[in-house]
Structure 1
Amino acid sequence: MNSYKQITYKYLKQQRNRTLLTILGIIISVAMISSIGTIIESARNSMIKEATRDYGSYHASLSNLDEKEIHALENHVEIEEVGISKKEGSARVAEVTEEEKEMFGDSTPYRYIEVEGYDQKALELLPYKISEGRSPETSREIAIEKWMVSYFEEEIKLGDNIKLSIGDRKLNDNKEEIDFELIGEKEYTIVGFIEPTLRWRGNLITKGITGIAEEEDTRVNYSAYVKLTNIKNAQERLTTIAESMGIDSESISLNNKVLRLSAESADEMFNGTLKMILIFVVGLIIVSTIAVIYNAFNISVLERISQFGLLRSVGATPSQIRGIVLKEAFTLSIISIPIGILSGIGAMKIVFYIISKLKFDNSFLKGMEANTSLTVFLISIVIGLITVFLSAIGPARKAGKVSPLEAVRNTGSFKKETFTKVKRSSFVRKLLGVEGEIAYKNLRRNRKRFIITVFSMVISISLFITFSSFSDYMFKAGIIETSTSGNFSIWMEDTEDFDIIQKELKGIKDVKRVYKLREINGEVLLEENKINKVMKETSPYMLNNKEEGLIKIHNINIYTIGDENLDLLKSVLEEGTISKGDLEKDNGVLVINNTYAQNINTGNRKLIEGYNLKPGDKVPFSSYNFYEEGKDLVYKELTVKGVLKRGILEDEYNLDGSINIITTEKNLKNIIGESVANSARMIIEMEENFDPEPIKSYLEEKEKTMPYFNYVDYAKVAEESKAATIVTSIFLYGFVTLITLISSINIINTISTNIILRTKEISMIKAVGMTQGGIKRMVALESLFYGVYAAVIGGAIGTGLAYMMFTLIIRLSDFQWVIPWRNIGIACVGATMVALFSGIFPLKRINEGIIVENMKADE
């Protein structure tokens, strides 16, 4: 019977279009599996590199060790590398002025350099980066943060010798300095400058690194930075190692920033959640892949029931019929799986290449590359083969059960059908015409065909809803940043100089935008119906204070972003309008109803829609600036002009379960009065690839000449944050795009095959007088009916799966569950549109054919 199996090749060649569609479905499915493996491997490696750059490559540190314990660690079989450090003490550099104490809110009396000695291995394991010069090699050499040189009495540079008074700072329980015990004076040669993460004058305690003195008599109180040979169960391994040496396990501190990326952190819930999310996502892909490929094979088998019956009638056994279908599956696997694997990996390589070319000089994106492994190849092949054969085994069994007599008489899966078996629907006919009535009957007269078609669309709709919701949850959970902290921030007194400096900043090269942030805090009075039920359930304690029947909401934050920047808020406008002129009428404001509230049950911070303020609402507000003990607060009425989804700067939502409010500069002055002095700040956003020298020179000059002027250089942090956002967004939306593509292929395959199998029926309808336009209308209405059924079922299933995903993600970051209506709408409309377009090509082929010849075709 080997010759029977040759039918497989003839069928695949003859039905070239259907074969190509099936191959394409398998390729995309397998490509998704291999691309996910590549993404996980690549992203993990890149993020580990990034975490290593920021937090060091060591896995844990152990403190309070002596020389004997250090040697024991170095010789332990489970420890790959050991770096040693020893704290030298705190070096006083300059006395902090009273103005600086007031400005920074810090009572520390001096600026200090915390000096710590490291051996070369420790410097390799730790994230210190030298911007100029080199790392210290002896205990007489030192590297400090360069911006600290301005606080020494005399200007210093690389190669200079400095004397530092080293001592021990005594702190109380509130981390406030109460005494300084001088140890002695030590001379160092400056051999390098450390690159700081942030440059800020308010950072009174900075770092200095030196070598370790070899000549010490008492070698105690060391710290060791260790790298394990195997990080599996890192915490348990380290605890066992420490206990075997008599080291207190409390002295172990894990580098969780690195270990978390390998799901080996101390946080078991975090580890478990990551694994569960991964299993859930991969499981959905496998299930959807099986469904898609099963659908293709099932349609293929149903089409050939008569052929299989003829083979049975000439002696083919059920096992031989099953063998034909499974050989078809194997043949398609051999062709599709390698292409799918290479396509998935190749697509990721292209994506990573594009990402690596983005101009983020100091970010981990620059060196990002696609990493593949033998594991990814093997898993992709195994899952691909399993899914294809699981998909084919059901249709193969169905083919093997075909009765020769029934199949030849065409009474198997495709029974002869008559329109009279389905009741006429006068309502449908009146509403949609005769084409609509026939389309409606077509749905009901073949239950199996109906189930197959709706099933395909349900799978597609469910997948899109689930994975697009997953992307949305990444934003809500804060895994993807949507706000900006700018490149530089300025703090100063709110005087006339504030507006002058803003104008000067706009004239500096590469300055893109300047946000002027003036803000005040206070409270509002709200009617109870303006507070959502979820807020009352989450944080009922916030609603305890009342005045004249209204509820007091504390910690209201009202701020400006600069009137020229108001148009930027239109991208996050939910209701109402944004117009400076309109806002300046009746103290108009823009409110953000979403807020972070403390969950009274779990203690976790939760993002919810806490309030229900609408445009036109009047809200009494009182600023804490006017508070005087023993006197009642004075309330001014604000008018809500618009509702925003979120803010666009730093804290997008109020962090205290309260409301963030944005208004114009004029309104803020009206609310607080001209006489109230406030500190103010600016956020400076620079152009891409900006030249840092002009802006830094300007800011440094202002810092020297203006009292209470202070700035922070966020340029590096802002670049890294933006880069990480771009990468995560590319991966998530790329994944959703792949899901959309495979879903579309699934629908096209099902609908087009459905129409092709009805060539004889459609030709008969055309022969008795229905026009070509009528046939198109009939098929379109039929697709629309399928879409309605699939939308209801798929929407419900997709929402359920999205909720399951939500329950996993909120274990990492809590936020409010909302039914994903937008994703449901897009999925249902999109699936229906794809179904409508799927009939164009097969209908065209039928219409171009000769009616008599088409009527002779086998179903």
Structure 2
Amino acid sequence: MKSYTDLTGKYLKGQKKRSMLTILGIILSVTLFTSIGTIGMSYWDKSVRQTMQDFGDYHVSFNGISGEAIPKVKNNAAVKSAGVISREGYAVLRETKEKEKKEDPFAAPYRYLNVKGYNANAMNMLQSQLDSGRYPENSNEIILSSSSLSYFLKKPKLGETITLNLGIRKVASTGEDKKINGLGDYGWDLDEAFQAQSQREYTVVGFMKPSSKENWSSGYIFPAITFNDNKSIDNYKNYFIYVKMKSLKNIKEKTEALMSSLQLSNVEQGSAMQLDRDNFIENVRIEYNNELLKLYGKSIYEGVNNSLILTFAAVIAIIMICTIAMIYNIFHISVLERISQFGMLRCIGATPAQIRKIVMQEATLISLIGIPIGILTGTLFMKVLFYNISLLTLGFLNDMRMVISLPILISAGLLGLLSVYLSAIGPAKQAARVYPLEALKNAGSSKVENITKVKKSLFVKKLFGVVGQFASRNLQRNKKRFRITAFSMIISIILFIVFSGLVDFMQQITQLSGAQYSYSLSYDGPSSRIDDTVYRDVSKLDAVQQAYKFYSNQVDAIIPKDKINPIYYGFHKDRYIVAEGEGYRTDNNFLVSYGDNGLDALQSKLTAGKIDKEKMNQENGVIVLQKIMMMTEEGKRLILDQTQFKVGDHIKIRTIDGNHNEYQTVTVVGIVDQDLLSKKYSTGQDLSFITTPKVYSKIMGSDTYSRIFILANPDISNHPITDYLKSLTDKNAGFNYHDRVAEVAQAKNDAKTFSILLYGFIGVIVLIAFLNIVNTVSTNLILRTKEFATLKAIGMTQKEVRKMIILEGVFYGLFAAVIGIILGTTLNYGIQVLFASALDADWVFPWYSIGIAFAGSMITTIVATIGPMYRLNKVSIVDALRSEN
């Protein structure tokens, strides 16, 4: 032996069982770090790809910008690349047939192709989903929507050439150009004509999949995309430009500076909508791709960014604390076992620095063994998990791929190494402080216990007798040892409750938000009217449990000043600027009705008032929905009342149209916090007045409804419903239905997948916790072999010693369970609060997790005492009193 530090390897070899347990703990910890990092990176990768598919691979878009501004945007110092889209024109596929017009009096006069030219950057940023073929590469190539093929005189095939007469749509009666709104080009008029301007030949190179969010215009206006490098810009033409910034830092400030350089003012701003959704855009509009920016931590809502970062940091911190606690206990126990050995080394000249070096060298050696194995097992664990996921029919995670990231693997290794060194520092210092003579006399402890007074528990004595009191006093006698053991158990319980809470949280956010229904049928044609015969047909279906007619229209309302919530007013003063009478005129209000049966169902949701339909018809009675959930500029989520109306209040409302009809007075007969078909608060910034169909008709001057909400009978097949709804859409393109049943099923599948992932982590955590608790409790009992032998020597029976040991384990479990449950539940709630700014989910008290944690704690501590009891039974009293263990 050349130096004292050469003893490190000899000890690790001599104590193989203890060394293997320590290495196993490190392996499991690094496995957990690697697994969480890998699944996090893989999920992030999937989320980015899905978001790019849904919203586009860009950061900011300028919609409807003039051609002369295009070079200024592309050449701006903050812009990395820009995708430009131009309108090439419309082409008529064919006129609408007379038969179709009879079936649908509001059918568009023509079936159109809406041709747009994408440059290379736009093609990459806004890739359409192809059924077959490829994207166009020059101006003579085109891709068509597969939905449009049946309207060509001769159905085109891949590689064939088609001739299109491109032109503009005009108002037939006046000859004016028809105003087009937005990239989606939404809507048509019956008074419409087409004027051809040029003829173009294109080679068909691909077919696009139909939009997943088709509406009434989708049956008449079909998208088509060609290539246009847009190098030749028409200054008097409007374009769409999609921009990637060089840096995402302060993206809003950079965009506003860009707008200022273009001398744009009063520009609409907002978040981007999904690519296949139509929306009205009348003027220039700036849209931030917030869904994508959020994933990079650069959303324009700073609170959202901080929420996600802090949540991730909190989860990693909790795991590190657990890991450090576990490894610390292992090292601490190792030091306690070898106090006499360190004392001998001190007696023969070893310095405190050399003792510290021995312990830290042990930490290094076992890290070099455990960390690489942990990284490997973590990667293999993820491969197995992803293989099992690939066997399931998933929705969002269907094409989720495993991303092995070198920075993640390195980070997992460094976090593991940091955890080991932080764990070893305390025991190393303790070993260095050993006094040689005391260490030789007091094996298993570096200092003789100084006991002044131990509290007696009459309750424990009455419940468990003298043996129970012995067990209770033993825990109090060595508080440091008790705290170390209890701390290990508490950390394990905290980690279990926190991760179980994450499972519940993920299950919530994968659930669909919004209205809760099975199907909705809407008519979005120009008449916006559903005939009562359709409602009666739907209601008669055996598979339909309930159907609600949905009447809705925007109204002006005068909100008295004393009825405006001051808190809401502080955030949205701009909504109350038009003074009228004793209040403010607002237009963000809706008069709605779910039919008479809808009012019956709404009865259970009333927070004030009552529903009397006859009285409502007589008094123009309304039920006010005024509670909303809103996001502040800082990204903080608030739930509050917009207004403070009460039962008996009167409100003046009128229809919104060019004639400005006189106000009519409605009476508040009830208050609800949530809509009829919702389990959450409204996220819209509007005020809803729910009433009867008769009152709606009286105020609006129309009994038109354009939507039916359908609740399906869960015990009967839904096929009759879907068959009927499909037959309607086939007959009339104005009809459209939404199958929420399929969406809910897919959301449940996604929730199931998230549960599999997180429960995999919980399994590792439970294993770490079990090994930690068993190791800590059992070793502490073994270190007290001489103490138990003494108790036997003075008359305590083997049965009583066994009972005392079990009770000690039970007391450990009870104490740790209570503290761990309190802290774990608090942290569970704290993480949900951090998430709240970015994701909408409610905190649910974790009763189920608490129950499992409590039972697991008790069972584990009892199991931990079995091994030491077996060992103690085999040791004779004389041998135990002579031993130094």
In the superposition, relative to structure 1, how do residues 8 and 104 fare at CA in structure 2: closer, same or farther (>3 Å)?
A: farther
- C-alpha distance in 2 between matches for 1:759 and 1:814: 55
Which of 498, 509, 517 matches 2:538?
A: 498
Inter-partner Cα distance in structure 2 for 1:826 and 1:521? 49
Residue by residue over 1:615-672, the C-alpha shift from the partner in whole angstroms, topping out at 9 and shown as x without a partner, is xxxxxxxxxxxxxx9999999xxxxxxxxxx99x9954464899xxxxxxxxxxxxxx
| Secondary structure of the structure 1 residue equivalent to 2:883 | coil
- How far off its partner does 1:392 sit? 0.6
Given that 1:597 and 1:606 are in contact with CA atoms closer than 8 Å, whether structure 2 keeps it comes out as: no
- For the Cα contact (< 8 Å) 2:67–2:233, is it kept in 1? no
Query: 1:751 is matched with which residue?
Result: 777
Partner of 1:742: 768
Partner of 1:380, secondary structure, is helix
- Equivalent residue in structure 2 for 1:170, among 179, 182, 185: 179
User: Per the alignment, do residues 631 and 750 of structure 1 end up closer, same or farther by CA in structure 2, a change over 3 Å counting?
Assistant: closer
The answer to whether structure 1 residue 262 and structure 2 residue 296 are counterparts is yes
Cα distance change, pair 749–481 in 1 and its aligned pair in 2 (3 A): farther
Amino acid at match of 2:58: Y
Offset of 1:87 from its aligned partner? 2.1
- The answer to whether 1:295 aligns with 2:329 is yes
Identity %: 37
For 1:560 and 1:22, locate their aligned partners in 2 and report how far apart those are by CA, in whole Å: 67
CA shift for structure 1 position 214:
7.6
Change (3 A) 1:96 1:273: farther
User: What residue number does 1:429 align with?
Assistant: 461
Alpha-carbon distance in structure 1 between the residues aligned to 2:800 and 2:551: 67
Q: Could you say which residue in structure 2 is the equivalent of 1:284?
A: 318
Matching of residues 12-31 of structure 1 within 5 Å? 12-31=12-31
Contact 1:490 / 1:683 at 8 angstroms: preserved in 2? no
Residues 201, 711 of structure 1: 8 Å contact kept: no
Tell me how far 1:402 sits from its aligned partner: 0.8
The Cα of 1:86 is off from its aligned counterpart by: 0.3
Between 1:830-839 and 1:177-186, the stretch displaced more is 177-186
State the TM-score, normalized to the length of structure 2: 0.69
SS at match of 1:210: strand
- Answering whether residue 859 of structure 2 is matched by residue 857 of structure 1, we say no
**Is 1:99–1:708's contact at 8 Å kept on the other side of the alignment?**
no
Distance in 1 separating the partners of 2:111 and 2:209:
18
The answer for the alignment partner of 1:335 in structure 2 is: 369
Structure 1 residues 201 and 417: CA distance shift in structure 2, 3 A: closer
Deviations 1:48-76 (A, max 9, x none): 222222233334444536489559938x8
Say which SS state the counterpart of residue 168 (structure 2) adopts: strand
Answer whether contact 2:550 2:708 (CA < 8 A) is retained. no
Query: In 2, distance between residues paired with 1:517 and 1:852?
Result: 84
- In 2, are the aligned partners of 1:595 and 1:653 still within 8 Å (CA)? no
After superposition, what is the alpha-carbon deviation per residue over 1:336-383, rounded to whole angstroms, capped at 9, x for unaligned?
1111122222212222222233234xx563443222222123222222
Secondary structure, in 3 states, of the residue corresponding to 2:345? Answer: helix
Aligned to 1:465: 497
- Conserved 8 A contact 2:628-2:640: no
Give the structure 2 partner of residue 50 of structure 1: 50
Q: Judge conservation of contact 2:789–2:880 (CA < 8 Å) in 1.
A: yes
Partner of 1:731: 757
Q: Distance in 2 between matches of 1:601 and 1:201?
A: 32
Q: Secondary structure at the match of 2:820?
A: helix
1:752–1:838 CA contact under 8 A, matched in 2: yes
Deviates most, 203-212 or 279-288:
203-212
- 1:606 deviation in Å? 6.6
What SS does structure 1 have at the residue aligned with 2:411? helix
Distance apart, 1:838 and its partner CA: 1.5
SS in 2 for 1:233: coil
1:399 CA drift (Å): 0.7
- Aligned pairs for 1:222-371 (under 5 A) are 222-227=239-244, 230-233=246-249, 235=251, 239=255, 242=258, 253-360=287-394, 365-371=397-403
Q: For 2:212, which of 156, 176, 198 is the aligned residue? A: 198
Q: Secondary structure at the match of 1:209?
A: strand
**Stretch deviating more after TM superposition (739-748 or 720-729):** 720-729
* CA distance 1:243–1:425, change in 2 (3 Å): closer
CA distance in 2, matches of 1:832, 1:483: 42
Please report how far the alpha carbon of residue 755 of structure 1 lies from its aligned counterpart in structure 2 after TM superposition: 1.5
Seen in structure 2, the aligned counterparts of structure 1 residues 495 and 384 have a Cα distance that, compared at 3 Å, is: closer
Quick one: which amino acid aligns to residue 383 of structure 1? L
Q: Deviations over 1:795-837 (max 9, x none)?
A: 3333333343233122224666565454444333322322222
Whole-Å separation in 1 of the counterparts to 2:667 and 2:288:
52
Distance 2:858 2:739 in 1: 51
Q: Secondary structure at the match of 2:115?
A: strand
What residue identity is the alignment partner of 1:321? I
- Alpha carbons of structure 1 residues 238 and 117: separation in structure 2 relative to 1, 3 Å: farther
Q: Distance in 1 between matches of 2:401 and 2:78?
A: 30
| Aligned residue among 421, 437, 442 for 1:389 | 421
Give the counterpart letter for 1:209 in structure 2: I
Q: Is the 8 A contact 2:549 2:705 kept in 1?
A: no
Distance 1:264 1:28 in 2: 34
Query: Quick one: which amino acid aligns to residue 51 of structure 2?
Result: A
SS at match of 1:812: coil
Q: Find the aligned partners of 1:97 and 1:608 in 2 and give their Cα distance.
A: 52
Which residue of the partner structure matches residue 858 of structure 2? Answer: 832
Distance 1:521 1:450, change over 3 A: farther
What is the DSSP-based 3-state SS (H/G/I as helix, E as strand, rest coil) of the residue aligned with 1:170? coil
Cα deviation for residue 398 of structure 1 reads: 0.8
CA spacing shift, 1:440–1:104, aligned 2, 3 Å: farther
Q: 1:704 aligns with which of 719, 730, 745?
A: 730
Give the C-alpha shift of residue 497 in structure 1. 3.6
- Given that residues 353 and 369 in structure 1 are in contact (C-alpha distance below 8 angstroms), is that contact kept between their aligned partners in structure 2? no
Q: Return the alpha-carbon distance in structure 2 between the equivalents of residues 770 and 609 of structure 1.
A: 66
Q: Which amino acid aligns with 2:32?
A: M
Q: Within 2, Cα distance between the matches of 1:751 and 1:596?
A: 53
Tell me the equivalent position of 1:4. Answer: 4
Q: Which amino acid aligns with 1:728?
A: F
For residues 420-447 of structure 1, what are the alpha-carbon distances to aligned partners after superposition, in whole Å with 9 as ceiling and x for unaligned?
A: 9646555422311233122111111111
2:826 corresponds in structure 1 to 800
Report how far residue 460 of structure 1 moved. Answer: 1.8
Q: 1:80·1:226 contact (CA, 8 Å) conserved in 2?
A: yes
Q: Check if 1:441 corresponds to 2:473.
A: yes
Query: Does the CA contact (< 8 Å) of 2:773 and 2:864 recur in 1?
Result: yes
- In 2, the alpha carbon distance for the partners of 1:496 and 1:373 equals 58
Q: Residue by residue, what CA displacement relative to the aligned partner does 1:279-329 show, whole Å, maximum 9, x if unpaired?
A: 222222222222221121112112222221122112111111112211221
Alpha-carbon distance in 2 for matches of 1:762, 1:104:
93
Residue identity in the other structure for 1:202 = W
SS of the residue corresponding to residue 839 of structure 1 reads helix
Relative to structure 1, is the Cα distance of residues 214 and 275 closer, same or farther in structure 2, using a 3 angstrom cutoff? closer
- Cα distance change, pair 134–456 in 1 and its aligned pair in 2 (3 A): closer
* CA displacement 1:549-572 (0-9 Å, x = unmatched): xxxxx98989999xxxxxxxxxxx
| CA 1:319–1:557: 2 relative to 1, 3 Å | farther
Task: Give distance in 1, aligned partners of 2:822 and 2:334.
Answer: 29
User: What is the identity, as a one-letter code, of the residue corresponding to 1:739?
Assistant: I
Secondary structure of the structure 2 residue equivalent to 1:345: helix
Distance 1:788 1:290, change over 3 A: same
Map residues 451-530 of structure 1 onto 2, 5 A cutoff: 451-476=483-508, 478=509, 481=512, 497-498=537-538, 517-518=547-548
State yes or no: 1:212 paired with 2:228. Answer: yes
